Amino acid sequence: MSGHSDTTKRFLLAAKHAEISALQHLASNCQVVSSICELIHQFQKERGISNIFLSSGCERFAQQRRVQIVESRDAEDLLRSQLLAKYLVGDEITGNMRLLNSVTLALQGMDHVGVLRYKVEHQAISALESTQAYCRLVAGLLAVVFEAADVASDPTITRLLVALFNFIQAKEYAGQERAWGAMGFAKSHFDHSLCERLEQLQHSQLHSFDTFIEFANQNERQLWLDLEKHSSTIALNQMRSMIQQLADGSPIDSGISEIWYELATERIDQMHLIEQQLAIRLLKVAKQRVKIANEELHSHKKRLQKLATMTASQDSPLSMLFDASLPGLHGSESNTEHKKSHTDSLAVHHSFYDLLRDQSEHIRKMSEELNNAKRTIAEQKQIDRAKLLLMQQLGHSEALAYRTLQKRAMDQKIRIADMAELVIKAAQDELQMKPC
Residue count (the chain): 436
| Position among 11, 251, 258, 315 found at the interface with its own copies (CB under 8 A) | 11
Query: What are all long-range contacts of 205-210, with beta carbons under 8 Å and residues at least 24 apart?
Result: 205/170, 205/173, 205/174, 205/177, 208/166, 208/167, 208/169, 208/170, 208/173, 209/166, 209/167, 209/170
Give the integer Cα–Cα distance in Å for 343 and 285: 27
Interacting positions 209-268 with its own copies (CB under 8 A)? none
Report if residue 132 touches its own copies, rule: CB under 8 A. yes
| Smallest separation (angstroms) from its own copies to the CB of 331 | 4
Report if residue 319 touches its own copies, rule: CB under 8 A. yes
Instruction: Transcribe 68-120 into DSSP letters.
Output: HHHHHHHHHHHHHHHHHHHH-STT---S-HHHHHHHHHHHHHHHTHHHHHHHH
Q: From 228, 223, 232, 233, select the one nearest 273 (Cα to Cα).
A: 223
| Smallest separation (angstroms) from its own copies to the CB of 215 | 17
| Position among 56, 70, 77, 114 found at the interface with its own copies (CB under 8 A) | 114
Backbone angles phi, psi at 251, to 5 degrees: -70, 155
Interacting positions 275-294 with its own copies (CB under 8 A)? none
Report if residue 128 touches its own copies, rule: CB under 8 A. yes
Point out which span in 36-44, 304-312, 330-338, 404-412 binds its own copies (CB under 8 A). Answer: 330-338
Report if residue 124 touches its own copies, rule: CB under 8 A. no
Q: What is the DSSP letter of 251?
A: B
Report if residue 113 touches its own copies, rule: CB under 8 A. yes
116, 130 contact by CB (below 8 A): yes
| Smallest separation (angstroms) from its own copies to the CB of 363 | 5
| Position among 90, 255, 327, 435 found at the interface with its own copies (CB under 8 A) | 327
| Smallest separation (angstroms) from its own copies to the CB of 392 | 5
**Per-residue binder mask for its own copies (CB under 8 A), 135-174, x = binder:** xxx-xx------------x-------------------x-
Give the integer Cα–Cα distance in Å for 405 and 248: 27
Report if residue 108 touches its own copies, rule: CB under 8 A. yes
Point out which span in 155-163, 246-254, 279-287, 357-365 binds its own copies (CB under 8 A). Answer: 357-365
| Position among 90, 255, 395, 435 found at the interface with its own copies (CB under 8 A) | 395
Q: Please, which residue, 103 or 416, has the CB nearer to its own copies?
A: 103
Q: Please, which residue, 97 or 280, has the CB nearer to its own copies?
A: 97
Q: Distances in Å between the alpha carbon of 218 and those of 212, 368, 376?
A: 11, 23, 20
| Position among 67, 214, 299, 328 found at the interface with its own copies (CB under 8 A) | 328
| Position among 280, 346, 363, 410 found at the interface with its own copies (CB under 8 A) | 363
Give the integer Cα–Cα distance in Å for 20 and 300: 13
